[in-house]
Copies of this chain bind each other. A is one copy, B any other.
Amino acid sequence: MTVDQQRERPTLAAVARHAGVSASTASLAFNNSGPVSAATRERVLAAAAELGYAGPDPRARSLRRGRSGIIGAVLEETLSNAFRDPMNLLMLDGIADVTGPAGNSLLLLTETAAAGVHVPGPQKAGPHATGAPAAASPSSLIDAPVDAVVLFGCSTRVDEAVAIVRRRGIPVVAIEGRPMAGVLDVGLDNRVGSRILAQHLFDLGHRDVALVTLELDQGRLPGALTPSRIDAGTSFTAVERVRGVQEVYPGIGGYATLGSTIDEGIRAGHALLDDPATRPTAIIAQSDLLAAGVVRAAAELGLRVPDDLSVVGFDGVRVDDPLASDLTTMVQPAFEKGRAAGRGVLDLLAGGAPESVSFTSEFRRGSTTAPPRR
């Protein structure tokens, strides 16, 4: 049992009393936010030290000020998955790069926590309840003390939560989200980029091409990519990238994965390549990580890239695997996207009305594409 658990901590009021000044003056002394004589400030600080006062309570401060200095970053399902994708990390980093110096930190939130769970059954408020509060409902986007929110490729599942957050007057910035009213958009030319890649393969002569998608819809198992599955897709980015490819290969099929990881790419690669009879001559992966996995799978099957199989990715990640270190891909400015989102947040918080921005990815011809073999 820790002893100091018992003794209650001093408040600003206590410090003020001990220093013989009013609470208002003590506050000014701590914040350097008004005219306070040097002598008084000294006295207040001394009193604080004597009482072991650790400074103003952030919770109270944020209530009064109406700002918590916290920006929520809403990522997909689980942190582990989100962290696996270098794009997310770059964007997070970009946001922090802009908002950090302005005094904000990032709160990691996941879509799971979007819809606040409410325990239905009422419970008696026993007068002698000594234990912890019976059921703390899972924290969520909805009851996090955030000043603003950045959505990372949000799916439809967050809609409700976003509506609530907006109703509260909290600025929302969406990175590659389906355009929503009142939400500042930071976009990417996913459709055009994907079309360019598809066109590249088409121009090389490929007619038998398969697509490996990012997570299209949450909660569904990976598997064959069908038109109905595409139409049911909830991930805006994934669907957009499909649409771009369809402009070149209208009836394209392929494989829908669980997300942007090398392992998923390997799995998809095997699903598409194991059977020589149905093997495509090229594969369009919706991310470089997936592409790297496909290349790996191809290698495991004894296929050479690009001789036996062409592979394109998306993102412009540097993958360590030398086989996939020079992918043909679209390079997207992820860090800059994050910075733009961060600027948007700051603008909105300052009461401005920033315009949505859209970034352009750039085609990079690597060594993983070539004409199909006859």
List the interface of chain A (C-beta within 8 A of B).
1-2, 4-5, 9, 32-36, 52-63, 66, 68-70, 78-80, 83-84, 89-90, 92-93, 96-97, 100-110, 113, 116, 118-125, 132, 136-139, 142-146, 164-165, 167-169, 262, 292, 319-324, 350-351, 353
Q: Are A105 and B139 in contact (CB under 8 A)?
A: yes
Q: Are B122 and A113 in contact (CB under 8 A)?
A: no
Shortest distance from the beta carbon of A94 to any chain B beta carbon, whole Å? 9
Of all A-B residue pairs in the complex, the 8 with the closest CB atoms, nearest first, are A320-B320, A58-B145, A54-B168, A69-B139, A54-B167, A103-B139, A320-B321, A80-B93
* A84 partner residues in chain B, CB cutoff 8 A: 89
Indicate which residue in B53, B118, B143, B320 contacts A319 across the interface (CB closer than 8 Å).
B320
Q: How far is B262's CA from A351's CA once the two chains are assembled, in angstroms?
A: 42
Q: Are A101 and B168 in contact (CB under 8 A)?
A: no
Q: Quick one: closest B residue to A88, CB to CB?
A: B83
Q: Are B122 and A35 in contact (CB under 8 A)?
A: yes
Q: Are B34 and A125 in contact (CB under 8 A)?
A: yes
Q: How many copies of this chain are found per oligomer?
A: 2
Shortest distance from the beta carbon of A167 to any chain B beta carbon, whole Å? 4
* A100 partner residues in chain B, CB cutoff 8 A: 110, 113, 138
Q: Are B55 and A142 in contact (CB under 8 A)?
A: yes
Shortest distance from the beta carbon of A353 to any chain B beta carbon, whole Å? 6
Q: Are A32 and B122 in contact (CB under 8 A)?
A: yes
Shortest distance from the beta carbon of A9 to any chain B beta carbon, whole Å? 6
Pick the most buried of A69, A123, A324: most chain B CB atoms within 10 A of its CB.
Answer: A69
Q: Are B83 and A93 in contact (CB under 8 A)?
A: yes
Dominant SS among interface residues on chain A: loop
Q: Quick one: closest B residue to A81, CB to CB?
A: B93
Shortest distance from the beta carbon of A264 to any chain B beta carbon, whole Å? 14
* A35 partner residues in chain B, CB cutoff 8 A: 122, 124-125
* A125 partner residues in chain B, CB cutoff 8 A: 33-35
Q: Are A120 and B58 in contact (CB under 8 A)?
A: no
Shortest distance from the beta carbon of A277 to any chain B beta carbon, whole Å? 30
Q: Are A105 and B144 in contact (CB under 8 A)?
A: yes
Q: Are B136 and A103 in contact (CB under 8 A)?
A: yes
Q: How far is B134's CA from A350's CA once the two chains are assembled, in angstroms?
A: 12
Q: Are A122 and B63 in contact (CB under 8 A)?
A: no
Shortest distance from the beta carbon of A54 to any chain B beta carbon, whole Å? 4
* A89 partner residues in chain B, CB cutoff 8 A: 80, 83-84
Indicate which residue in B1, B36, B351 contacts A353 across the interface (CB closer than 8 Å).
B1
Q: Quick one: closest B residue to A118, CB to CB?
A: B32
Given A63-B60, A123-B33, A145-B58; A92-B103 close (CB under 8 Å): no
28 A-B residue contacts at CB 8 Å?
Answer: A2-B353, A4-B169, A32-B119, A33-B123, A34-B122, A36-B122, A53-B167, A54-B165, A55-B142, A55-B168, A59-B68, A63-B63, A69-B143, A70-B70, A79-B93, A80-B89, A83-B89, A100-B110, A100-B113, A105-B107, A105-B108, A105-B113, A106-B108, A292-B320, A319-B320, A320-B324, A321-B321, A322-B322
